[in-house]
Amino acid sequence: MPDNNGHGMNWIRLEKRLAIYHRDHFDCVWCRGVFPIDVRGYGLTLDHLVPGRDHRPVNLVTSCVSCNAARGNCSVEEWLLLLRRSGHRRVRERIRTHIPIDLEAGKYLRWLRRSSGESCL
């Protein structure tokens, strides 16, 4: 999981986080765990492909809490190998960082979240 210096989920703007979840179809790119399209985003995190301070969408993918914690400090190549050995196939194809994020979708999801009275993502 990224070192966010204790900022929780505040290291990235909410609409950007939601736009990345939207780009990745609200499922974990690693295990393909599908999460209901829920503006609260429970069970989802963002995983850095290359650890560090690069918070650009091309370096971030949607991950479930379990996969993000299990990956730890593995490189993408090491993690893909471990996933293949455990039966996961075609994982690399689910990494959609080449697709631009839709910030308007993120803003809309943020608006939905606020209008529904949800206070945490």
User: What are the pLDDT digits (tens) for 30-44?
Assistant: 998 877 655 555 688
Under-70 pLDDT residues of the chain: 1-9, 36-42, 117-121
Predicted pLDDT of residue 19: 94
Predicted pLDDT of residue 113: 79
Instruction: Give the integer Cα–Cα distance in Å for 55 and 69.
Output: 18
H or E element: which one contains 112? helix 103-115
Q: pTM, whole model, 2 decimals?
A: 0.80
Predicted pLDDT of residue 11: 83
Predicted pLDDT of residue 117: 65
Virtual torsion, Cα 2, 3, 6, 10, nearest 10 deg:
-50
Instruction: Give the integer Cα–Cα distance in Å for 68 and 43.
Output: 11
> Which sign does the torsion angle of CA 30, 34, 38, 40 carry?
negative
CATH number of 14-115: 1.10.287, 1.10.30, 1.10.275, 1.10.8? 1.10.30
Query: DSSP character for 47?
Result: E
> What are the structural domain ranges in the chain?
14-115
Predicted pLDDT of residue 121: 46
